[in-house]
Chains A and B, each alone.
Chain A
Amino acid sequence: MANECRAGLAIVDDEKGLVDVLLRLFAKRNIRVCFVAYDGGDAVLKFIQATPKPRIIIVDYRLPTVNGIDAMKEILKIDPETRIILLSADVDIKEEALKNGAVIFLKKPASIKEIDEAIGDIVKKVPGIDLN
């Protein structure tokens, strides 16, 4: 896994409108989006299949079948180096998310500035990370 090409990020959210606007945002920031998934289970499958695999995944919590935290746990089992940003309106799950491997919790609605800062923080802490 460490030798595979790693770049960009992925978006996991069941709200298509939000996914679209995030895609536009990241397109504007020249950040590659490896894949988009609308459910936790779908996200895990796409993560396994993705080439290259995303360095950062932005995950919502409430998803149709497998929630964001469970999906995150599975992805981290596959690749612990993946950085997860949990973007959720459920502030109550913040502690659980951070405890289970999320590096940043963003409460919806998060501003572009907060999203940029979150991604920037990760980029700063992980040398050589490529999101393009």
Chain B
Amino acid sequence: MSGLSSIRIQVIIIIALLMVVPVLVFGGISILYYQDVVKHNIWDNNLAQAKAISALTANYVDLSTNYLKSIADRPLVIKAVQERNLSFLNDTTEYSAIESLEFDTVFITDTSGTVLSYNTINPDLTNSNIIGKGYSGQPYIGQVLKTSSPSVEAMRNNIDGSSAVYIGVPIMDQNNTTIGVIVGALDMNNYSSIVTGTQVKNSQYIYLVNESGNVIFHNNKSYMANMTDFSMLPAVREVIQGHEGVTEQEFPFENSVRLSAYAPVPKYGWGVVVSLPVDVAYQPITQFTWYLLALIIVLLLVASILAVILGHYLTNPLLRMSDATTRIPDTDPEALEQYLPLRRKDEIGNLARAFLSMANTIRLDRERIISARDQADEEKHHAELYLDIMGHDINNMNQMALINLELVKDDATLSDDERRSIEESLNVIKNSTEIIDNVRVLQKINEKKMEREKVDINGIIMDCIKEAPRPEGKKVAINYEPKKDIIVEATPLVKEIFRNLIGNSIKHSGDEVTIDIDVAEASQDNKKYYDISVADNGFGIPDGVKPKLFGRFQRGTTKTHGKGLGLYIVRMLAEMFGGSVKVEDRVAGDYTKGTKVIVTLPSAGGE
């Protein structure tokens, strides 16, 4: 037993399927579910970062504005502007530009927007000098002079065109009249260090756009050089309209797809965008998926190992009992114990003990059966031997008696009585020979050793006609029209049927007998049969005898003896070959006109 036909393999497969399928199903669902959860976490994290930077930016600008306010509100500064004390104002702008972290450039104008004092630590601007120049056209000055309120403008600086954030704050006298403006340009390096110092991941972009979508700040400074227009980006379009959210978008400047979280800075109309390449952003999902796959593989391995262990555990007792079963014929029950799980306390142990008990019983029964069979075989062998010896020796004796009697019968001096006695003795010899022959046929029938083959009934009938006894002084006429292809599946013993029937017709008739043999096709249950009839004009069989005719020899029906054995053999053989036999009057209703026996045999051709 091997392969899938083994119960062990089948059990292992079933258990493995029962364990593996849930692992695969739940593992697959978990992967899909947690991929979605992780993705949302990534989105939420990025959005939170964008919102935090948005808040930080607003606070940073507010803080910077307040710083400028604190300078603009100083009486000494107000007095210096009123008195055009340029030396003091220069000290003030220099101090503010150098000492404050928020600004890299600070300058002060009068009410006409003319620059009174200017100082910068921006290395790109150190060579510029705008003192005495009119800046009233710049919104962060003109707007302040017009409204006497602070103004914040993100725009290109008018020196190198790079992005800059200008905060203008009015300088007002005691009458709240605007006498000048102090302007600070935010130090974007400082802003950058605050915004990106601890939060920027690999390939992450953090950028700030103004209300028109131009870059104010970008941690890739190349986008700040001329305030690159990002307004075509979906995230930028959304954020400058005051919306927050997360999206995956093409970033045409670098031909990449990036996950972009955006949050507006409502007070200033700006927007903050935090973006990451999609593959970087979603790396946790990939990692998580691999972790889960690794876990599933480990679970599958564990499930497989458990399936093998369980399969062995569950099937071992069965296989061992199966092994023990095959050994029952050749092994002592005591030796079977090594194959059986007799020490187990559970139901399998009970089964093993019951099995052992059964094996003992089988063993004893088998020994009894073998002994009985051997005895029966021996008895049968003896019976066959006795029959053989008896048949042979009696026929030898008969041979001697037959020739002796026939020699005497030729003596012309015999009286009629003496001749009749000799005739009767000869008949006795013939009858005893017939009984022996029939007993031998019965023995062969019971042996059932002969293989069935296709037998030509026509040839058999012809042989029987040829070999039929023709007693001296008796006229025997046998009519038969030979027919072709009358083939049945039988053994050569089938000849005994017709030998007996023809012999009976000759024996049970007067000085003249006519025997008509005919073969006709018949059909029963869509099968083809042959009806072979043997009819004679002999003494006939009374109706009362007919029902018992073929069963006269059967034990228990009457006193058993050798006479009538022939018809019993006819019936046995006909039934053995799948057919039947019946007897009728040759002339219906008048048994004295002779007998007709019909033997029905199935055709070897079937339908």
In the complex, which residues of chain B have a beta carbon less than 8 angstroms from the beta carbon of A109?
Answer: 395, 398-399, 401-403, 429, 433
Q: Mark B507-548, 1 if CB is under 8 A from A, else 0.
A: 000000000000000000000000000000000000000000
The answer to whether B407 touches A18, judged by C-beta atoms less than 8 angstroms apart, is no
Q: Does B404 contact A (CB under 8 A)?
A: yes
Q: Does A65 contact B (CB under 8 A)?
A: no
CB within 8 Å for A15 and B396 given contacts A109-B402, A109-B433: yes
Interchain CB contact (< 8 A) of B403 among A62, A90, A91, A112: A112
Residue from the set A21, A89, A110 with the largest chain B CB neighbour count within 10 Å: A89
Contact stretch, chosen from A22-30, A35-43, A73-81, A118-126? A22-30
Q: Does A17 contact B (CB under 8 A)?
A: yes
Q: Does A49 contact B (CB under 8 A)?
A: no
**A33–chain B nearest beta-carbon distance, Å:** 14
In the complex, which residues of chain B have a beta carbon less than 8 angstroms from the beta carbon of A91?
Answer: 437, 440
* A79-132 interface with B by 8 A CB criterion: 87, 89-91, 108-113, 115
Q: Which residue of A lies closest to B432 (CB)?
A: A109
In the complex, which residues of chain A have a beta carbon less than 8 angstroms from the beta carbon of B433?
Answer: 109
**B67–chain A nearest beta-carbon distance, Å:** 136
Q: Does B392 contact A (CB under 8 A)?
A: yes
How many residues of chain A get a CB closer than 8 Å to chain B's CBs?
20
The answer to whether B399 touches A18, judged by C-beta atoms less than 8 angstroms apart, is yes
Q: Which residue of A lies closest to B389 (CB)?
A: A62
The answer to whether B392 touches A112, judged by C-beta atoms less than 8 angstroms apart, is no
In the complex, which residues of chain B have a beta carbon less than 8 angstroms from the beta carbon of A62?
Answer: 392
The docked-state distance in angstroms from the alpha carbon of A87 to that of B392 is: 12
CB within 8 Å for A21 and B403 given contacts A89-B391, A109-B433: yes
The docked-state distance in angstroms from the alpha carbon of A25 to that of B399 is: 13
The docked-state distance in angstroms from the alpha carbon of A28 to that of B392 is: 27
Q: Does B477 contact A (CB under 8 A)?
A: no
In the complex, which residues of chain B have a beta carbon less than 8 angstroms from the beta carbon of A21?
Answer: 400, 403-404, 407
How many residues of chain B get a CB closer than 8 Å to chain A's CBs?
18
The answer to whether A89 touches B400, judged by C-beta atoms less than 8 angstroms apart, is no
The docked-state distance in angstroms from the alpha carbon of A90 to that of B437 is: 10
By DSSP majority rule, is chain A's interface helix, strand, loop, or mixed?
Answer: helix
The docked-state distance in angstroms from the alpha carbon of A17 to that of B395 is: 13
In the complex, which residues of chain A have a beta carbon less than 8 angstroms from the beta carbon of B401?
Answer: 109
In the complex, which residues of chain B have a beta carbon less than 8 angstroms from the beta carbon of A18?
Answer: 396, 399-400, 403
The answer to whether B402 touches A24, judged by C-beta atoms less than 8 angstroms apart, is no
Q: Which residue of B lies closest to A107 (CB)?
A: B395
Q: Which residue of A lies closest to B391 (CB)?
A: A89
Q: Which residue of A lies closest to B437 (CB)?
A: A91
* B418-434 interface with A by 8 A CB criterion: 429, 433
Q: Does B36 contact A (CB under 8 A)?
A: no
The answer to whether A112 touches B406, judged by C-beta atoms less than 8 angstroms apart, is yes
Q: Which residue of A lies closest to B409 (CB)?
A: A112
Q: Which residue of B lies closest to A110 (CB)?
A: B399
* B364-396 interface with A by 8 A CB criterion: 391-392, 395-396
**B592–chain A nearest beta-carbon distance, Å:** 32
The answer to whether B398 touches A108, judged by C-beta atoms less than 8 angstroms apart, is yes
**A115–chain B nearest beta-carbon distance, Å:** 8
Interchain CB contact (< 8 A) of A24 among B396, B407, B437, B440: B407
In the complex, which residues of chain B have a beta carbon less than 8 angstroms from the beta carbon of A115?
Answer: 403
In the complex, which residues of chain B have a beta carbon less than 8 angstroms from the beta carbon of A24?
Answer: 407
Interchain CB contact (< 8 A) of B392 among A17, A22, A90, A113: A90
The answer to whether A111 touches B396, judged by C-beta atoms less than 8 angstroms apart, is no
In the complex, which residues of chain B have a beta carbon less than 8 angstroms from the beta carbon of A15?
Answer: 396, 399-400
**A68–chain B nearest beta-carbon distance, Å:** 13
Q: Mark A28-71, 1 if CB is under 8 A from B, else 0.
A: 10000000000000000000000000000000001000000000
Q: Chain A residues in contact with chain B, CB under 8 A?
A: 15, 17-18, 21-22, 24-25, 28, 62, 87, 89-91, 108-113, 115
Q: Chain B residues in contact with chain A, CB under 8 A?
A: 391-392, 395-396, 398-404, 406-407, 429, 433, 437, 440, 472
Given contacts A21-B407, A91-B440, 9 further A-B contacts (CB under 8 A): A15-B396, A18-B400, A89-B396, A91-B437, A108-B395, A112-B402, A112-B403, A112-B407, A115-B403
A to B CB contacts below 8 Å, 10 in the list? A18-B396, A18-B399, A21-B404, A21-B407, A89-B399, A91-B440, A108-B396, A108-B399, A109-B402, A110-B402
